Amino acid sequence: MILAGARFWGADGVEAVLVRDGRIVAVGGFRDLCTQAPSEKVRDLGGGFAVFGLSDAHGHLAMLGEAAEQLDLRGCASAQEVSARVREAPRRKGWLRGRAWSDAGWPEPPTREHLAEAARGDKIYLEKLDSHAAWVSPALLEAAGIRRETPDPPGGRIERGADGEPTGVLVDNAMAIVERFLPAPADDALDARIRLAAQRCASVGLTCVHDAGLDAAMWKSLQRLEARGELPIRVYGMERQLDPQSDAMLANGPISTKRLTLRCVKFFLDGALGSHGAAFFAPYADGQDGSGLLLESRRELAHQLAKRMRQGFQVALHAIGDRANALALDAIADALAHTHARDARPRIEHAQHLRLSDVPRFAQLGVIASMQPSHHASDWLWAKPRLGPARFPGAYAWRTLLHGGVPLAFGSDFPIETEDVRHGLQSSIYRDISEEDPHERLSGDEALRAFTLGAAWASFKENQVGLVAPGHRADLSVFQGDLRTDPNASKAVLTLLDGEPV
């Protein structure tokens, strides 16, 4: 097949691409390729803007599919508005799941009383926008045995009112106390969720997703979908170290098939800024007590990282606050020193708020900054008072990291943000809202590179995807409009894997 009739990003002067068996075999002028391969069919790309290897380096497929089944609380302006929506929402066997509430700007914090009447005795589990806190009904608190005297678990926080009673809001590791009661989906339901999510990703031009938190059930579902030919994207899997089946799942080392790869293990070091769980060296600047939650110690974390490195796995570490990022770098340095791993490509997922003194350590250790630029646009107005001006220089520091020689891999963290790559590109190119740090903006080419070649590097696929070059897979997306200059005015019109439309 000859692909022609497009502007191929990163390949000035290329008019056409010859594809055989799913890979690029030649690029050049249209007439030259037609002469070279006269029997090949020509696919006209309609004058679009074609990008090879467009990827999301941090998303959650099962969560995206499940979100379509849950009560959407995005945009609720108060706890009372959430309560009203819960009161009217249909239940399923005494359960209601909801998501995406955020109390930033609410006149009062969420409490158990807000849900008590609306829940009508049912078990209600409402996940916060950042997925690092949950607001649950009194019935679920009771089922989990959470009372006044229940201590905060290590790395978690049970929010309490002035009377000392739990409010129903559980932060980070405290969520696990009730999560064990959540109904697990049947295999066919999980397959449907992931299939829907993958289709949505393909529809916005993504050819690959790095799933940042697979458990054994999700991995088996992906394998079933691939076997049935129902997986329209490639998936690079990060196994969630919190999964009790981790050791069994990883016992045989990395796994790679035509569309699936399991080569990475993800660890969690802190919570999120929105739940005051991101771990900082200094207290939050908005009057909130404390400086966040550290979920790991350096010694134990380094031991676990080294264990997975010796098994041949890449390691990825969730770190948002500056203290968590410093701990991540410390533990990575320790693990590398003990294993002498070559080409380990450790990743820090989010790398959202840094001490500038830590930036050179990323490059020295070969750490990839796996970041989500759309978080800046969503968070910045309320993030500023939580950070305080002293921490501005290290916040969402894309260009600072890039100038420091640090590989950038961009994603969205869907469904916390939309899976539509245009929003991340818009944020990184224009970085509107912020007057403090316009120097952190990226050019259109730099931003697009982080969503293509950067993501490819972060998944050890730089010799397979991301370039218009012989030997690379013909995974490409075609857009109306130039993604580099006005992403939001562009539109995905065609996505191909191995040269075939998906």
CA distances from 360 to 246, 321, 363 (A): 32, 17, 6
Pairwise CA distance, residues 330 & 272, whole Å: 20
Q: Which residue has the tokens 């049947």?
A: 186
Q: Which residue has the tokens 């209601």?
A: 96
Give me the pLDDT at residue 384, please: 87
Q: How would you list the strands of the sheet with 500-501, edge to edge?
A: 23-28, 16-20, 2-8, 42-52, 476-480, 491-497, 500-501
Alpha-carbon 308 to chain mean position: 21
Give me the pLDDT at residue 434, please: 52
Q: What domains are there in the chain, each with its CATH number?
A: 1-51+466-502 (2.30.40.10), 70-179 (3.10.310.70), 243-464 (3.20.20.140)
Low-confidence ranges of the chain (pLDDT < 70): 432-437
Please state the pTM of the whole predicted model: 0.93
Query: Among residues 151, 157, 160, 150, which one has the least CA distance to residue 173?
Result: 157
Give me the pLDDT at residue 352, please: 97
Pairwise CA distance, residues 478 & 206, whole Å: 10
Per-residue pLDDT tens for 396-417?
Answer: 999 999 999 999 999 999 999 9
Give me the pLDDT at residue 436, please: 59
Per-residue pLDDT tens for 140-156?
Answer: 999 999 999 999 999 99
Give me the pLDDT at residue 431, please: 85
Per-residue pLDDT tens for 326-352?
Answer: 999 999 999 999 999 999 999 999 999
Give me the pLDDT at residue 408, please: 98
Give me the pLDDT at residue 288, please: 77
472 within 8 A of 52, measured Cβ to Cβ: yes
